[in-house]
Chain A
Amino acid sequence: NAGVTQTPKFQVLKTGQSMTLQCAQDMNHNSMYWYRQDPGMGLRLIYYSASEGTTDKGEVPNGYNVSRLNKREFSLRLESAAPSQTSVYFCASSEGNSNQPQHFGDGTRLSIL
Chain B
Amino acid sequence: AQSVTQLGSHVSVSEGALVLLRCNYSSSVPPYLFWYVQYPNQGLQLLLKYTSAATLVKGINGFEAEFKKSETSFHLTKPSAHMSDAAEYFCAVSDDVFNSGGSNYKLTFGKGTLLTVNP
Contacts and interface: CB of A to CB of B under 8 A. Distances in A.
Do A and B truly interact? yes
Interface of A: 4, 31, 33, 40-45, 48-51, 54-56, 58, 90, 92, 94, 96-99, 101-107
Nearest to A50: B101
B100 A54 contact: yes
Contacts of B109: 42-44
Taking residues whose C-beta sits less than 8 angstroms from the other chain, chain B's interface range is 20 to 34
A92 B43 CA distance: 9
B20 interface: no
Interface in B76-91: 90
B9 A40 contact: yes
Given A48-B104, A56-B100, A98 B32 contact: yes
B61 to A, nearest CB: 16
Contacts of B96: 98
